Amino acid sequence: MSLIISSDDLAAACLRLKSHGFVTVDTEFLRETTFWPKVCVIQIASDEEAIAIDTLAEGLDMTPFFELMANPAVVKVFHAARQDIEIIWNLAKLIPAPLFDTQVAAMVCGYGDQVSYGELAQSVCKVTLDKSSRFTDWSRRPLSEAQITYALADVTYLRDIYRALSEKLHKSGRMNWLIDEMSTLTAPATYEQHPDQAWERFKNRVKKPRDLAVLMEVAAWREREAQGRDVPRSRVLKDDILIEIALTAPKTVEGLGNLRAFPRGLEKSRAGADIIVAVERGLARDPKTLPKIEKDRRSGGGGGGATTELLKVLLRQVSERHGVAAKMVATIDDLEAIATNDNADVPALKGWRRELFGTKALDLKHGKLALAVENNKVITLEWQDTPVGNDTPVGTEATPETEAAHSD
């Protein structure tokens, strides 16, 4: 085991690591009291070694690590990569590439939705990970031997998991599915924090243009305040209070203070005055410039709700039949959109997802496909016209052997 605390040692380690076709990477960080994640340890492993980088070591130059993350000849393997990549992006405005996320790959390979690293280690490597150090304070120094052992385990078993999943993807011809998913993880827009977009997290909580306008301004104020002070959003203003302000639009600090959930006395502070100014900006916005408020598709008419329920059954049938996590194929929002719009701009109607599920979903919606139960399993039936004009269902389920040949 190796704990890196000097710039020279880090440079030498990264020089060795870049000679390998892939490295596994993980981070230990704290975020309970800050807006931006505070990275404390970075773990990397190749086939020959595993190292832990003490990112809090005084005077440590992280440049060799960032150069390794940008090296196009070395695949960077993470599990559930988004938070780790966010950390690297915040530190160096860099996204590791090429990238392989084992959690996403496991979903493509049929391990279920958001399978954990521990579950994969158990399934692939036949080991049970010791998680006793998971919630320790990674910012305290010195790091204990148990902490370092725990941290390195998160990248050592990841090597075999990567190999196993990569082999499955190549054999099944689904590597392009993973590459498609990686495009979102490697897009800078995924990690950029724009205060003016903060309202989107609550877009289904408001129904009127005025409420939306106030929400947009107050949410943007809270986001800028949290980023500037480097504190969690809830330290500035909790979500439920944010929504209450949007719905009531108080015009005075007294009115703000009268809100049931608003912290007592906060209205008399600078924050209280800033919130009132944000509310005023929202009320002054031209409704014509506001984003369109989406109607709740769940309460829509025209049988959309019933169609969505049928699409859920179809999605489960397709995902089980092809051995891929349902969440990878389509989300509930996708299904609700398809139920009301044949040309919905959703991933489920594009690329491999359309081939696997989207076309069937539209056929089901328009009566060209039916669902039935056979031997306690849901199957699909394709409806065809007979010469005498009667609609006759024709089973489309393949045998296991045929299915294996055509599932991709």
| pLDDT (tens digit per residue) in 7-63 | 999 999 999 999 999 999 999 999 999 999 999 999 999 999 999 999 999 999 999
pLDDT of res. 97: 94
Residue 393: the pLDDT is: 53
Quote the CA–CA distance of 126 and 364 in Å, as a whole number. Answer: 42
pLDDT score for 134: 84
Confidence of residue 292 (pLDDT cuts 50, 70, 90): confident
Buried b (16+ CB within 10 A) or exposed e, 331-353: eeebbbbbbbeeebebbbbeebb
The pTM (predicted TM-score) of the whole model is 0.83
Strand intervals (E) in 83-133: 99-101
What is d(CA 89, CA 189) in angstroms, rounded to the nearest whole number? Answer: 11
Q: Would you say 10 and 61 are in contact if contact means Cβ atoms under 8 Å apart?
A: yes
For residue 373, give the 3-state DSSP assignment: strand
Classify the C-alpha dihedral 288-292-295-301 as positive or negative. Answer: positive
Which pLDDT score, from 0 to 100, does residue 398 have? 40
Q: Is 133 a residue whose pLDDT tops 60?
A: yes
Structure tokens given for 164: 């196993």
Q: At the top level of CATH, which class does the domain 299-406 belong to? A: mainly alpha
Q: Tell me: the pLDDT tens digits for 233-255?
A: 999 999 999 999 999 999 999 99
Same topology between domain 2-190 and domain 195-289: no
**Contact in structure between 296 and 204 (CB atoms under 8 Å):** yes
Domain 2-190 has CATH 3.30.420.10: yes
The CA distance from 325 to 320, in Å, is 8
Q: What is the DSSP letter of 356?
A: I
| Dihedral sign computed on CA atoms, order 87, 88, 93, 95 | negative
| Separation CA 274–CA 281 (nearest Å) | 11
Report CA torsion sign: 223, 289, 349, 312: positive
Cis status of the peptide bond prior to 188, with omega within 30 of 0: no
pLDDT tens per residue, range 182-198? 988 999 999 998 999 99
For 330-343, what is the mean pLDDT?
94
Q: Looking at the predicted structure, is the pLDDT value of residue 82 above 80? A: yes
Q: What is the model's pLDDT at position 24?
A: 98
What is the rounded CA–CA span in Å between residue 120 and residue 157? 9
Q: Where are the domains of the chain?
A: 2-190, 195-289, 299-406
Amino acid sitting at position 93? K
pLDDT confidence bin for 383, thresholds 50/70/90: low
Question: What pLDDT digit, counting tens, does each position of 96-119 carry?
Answer: 999 999 999 999 999 988 899 999
Q: Could you give the CA distance from residue 107 to residue 142 in angstroms, rounded to a whole number? A: 38
Residue 388 has pLDDT above 60, yes or no: no
Residue 67 has pLDDT above 60, yes or no: yes
Give me 192's structure tokens: 């950029």
Fold of 195-289: DNA polymerase; domain 1 (1.10.150)
Question: 303-335 pLDDT, tens per residue?
Answer: 468 899 999 999 999 999 999 999 999 999 999
Which pLDDT belongs to residue 391? 52
Average confidence (pLDDT) over 346-375: 92
Enter the tokens of residue 130.
Answer: 């010791």
Q: Is the pLDDT of residue 298 over 70?
A: no
Of the pLDDT bands very low, low, confident and very high (cuts 50, 70, 90), residue 72 is very high
Amino acid 210 reads: R
261 or 299: which leads in pLDDT: 261
Q: Are residues 52 and 151 in contact, defined by beta-carbon separation less than 8 angstroms?
A: yes
Cα–Cα distance between 87 and 102 in angstroms, integer?
18
Gyration radius (Cα) of the chain, Å: 26
